[in-house]
Amino acid sequence: MTAPGALAGPSTPSLDLGGRTALVTGAAGGIGRACALRLAAAGAKVRAVDRDARGLEELAEQSAGLPGTVEPHVLDLTDLDAAESAAAGTDVLVNNAGLQLVRPIEEFPPDTFHTVLTVMLEAPFRLIRGALPHMYGQGWGRIVNVSSVHGLRASAFKSAYVAAKHGLEGLSKTAALEGAPHGVTSNCVNPAYVRTPLVERQLADQAAAHGIPRERVLTEVLLQDSALKRLIEPHEVAEAVAYLCGPSASFVTGTSLVLDGGWTAH
């Protein structure tokens, strides 16, 4: 019931991706798994891409009974030609896969820098390139790039990750400008630290880099600039991704949806 004096408005339409094909990278765990399950819950046929075969099997088992389906697709995103081919025919593309190494620039292995940029920037470019012909042909598509607060702010000792995420922001905006006449939106989702295995592994690296005990890393390093002193849960990021795929976000493109607990408010 509408309260007296309140303005009545249309209800928010629920997300219905029945008949749509979605591709999610890094789907075996963390944010990717949450996104794959959320899109399958909305009825999508989800291509779950990861190099972790066992993790994908567990995801497929977890998705049983959802309105949509999850199809495991074992793929190493450093195989760029295979990545582009895998994206053909997709209606929704979620570029999520990532990796991290915390080291000072003068100690950062060049081969690791190259791998991070390949997986987190060049592979998304190739996946978008592979998905766009189908999206353009039908006049509808959704590209969601899981960026980071580090796509907007830098942190010490994360040269490759920060460079990749800043590049992803620019790629996403370019895709938005080119895709607009064809009914395709492109946006970034920018979480701060999420409760994922990637973040758990950072605790030891950050402890070594900053010279402090592991137990102090979470409060004194990871959450130092966040007004909300907690990690984000993967399902919260998945809901932001789902919003950008839904009808209420049809006019949202070329932007970054920030979920950083107030980090960038400083």
- Per-residue pLDDT, averaged over 103-123, amounts to 98
pLDDT for res 12: 61
Residues 6+ apart with CB under 8 A from 235: 34, 38
Encode pLDDT of 69-109 as tens digits: 999 999 999 999 999 999 999 999 999 999 999 999 999 99
Is the pTM higher than 0.85? yes
pLDDT for res 51: 98
Query: Domain 21-194+232-265 classified CATH 3.40.50.720?
Result: yes
Q: How confident is the model at residue 2 (pLDDT cuts 50, 70, 90)?
A: very low
Q: 60-89: buried (b, 16+ CB within 10 Å) or exposed (e) per residue?
A: beebeebebbbbbbebebeebebbbebbee
Q: What is the mean pLDDT of the chain?
A: 93
| β-bridge pairing 45-50 and 21-25 | parallel
Tell me the HSE value of 238 on the side-chain side, using a 13 A CA sphere. Answer: 21
**What is the spatial order of strands in the sheet that 141-146 belongs to?**
69-74, 45-50, 21-25, 92-95, 141-146, 184-191, 256-259
Encode pLDDT of 31-43 as tens digits: 999 999 999 999 9
Choice among 136, 161, 193, 243 that is catalytic:
161
Residue 227 has pLDDT above 50, yes or no: yes
Residue 236 has pLDDT above 60, yes or no: yes
Residues 6+ apart with CB under 8 A from 175: 128, 132, 143, 184, 186
Encode pLDDT of 131-189 as tens digits: 999 999 999 999 999 999 999 999 999 999 999 999 999 999 999 999 999 999 999 99
Q: How far apart are CA 109 and CA 243, in angstroms?
A: 38
User: Phi/psi at 226 (nearest 5 deg)?
Assistant: -95, 130
Residue 3 has pLDDT above 80, yes or no: no
186 forms beta bridges with 143
Task: Mark whether 193 is an active-site residue.
Answer: no
How many residues comprise the chain? 266
CB 142 within 8 A of CB 244: yes
pLDDT for res 207: 83
Give the start-to-end residue ranges of the domains of the chain: 21-194+232-265
Please, what is the Cα angle at 253 between 250 and 256, to 5 degrees? 125
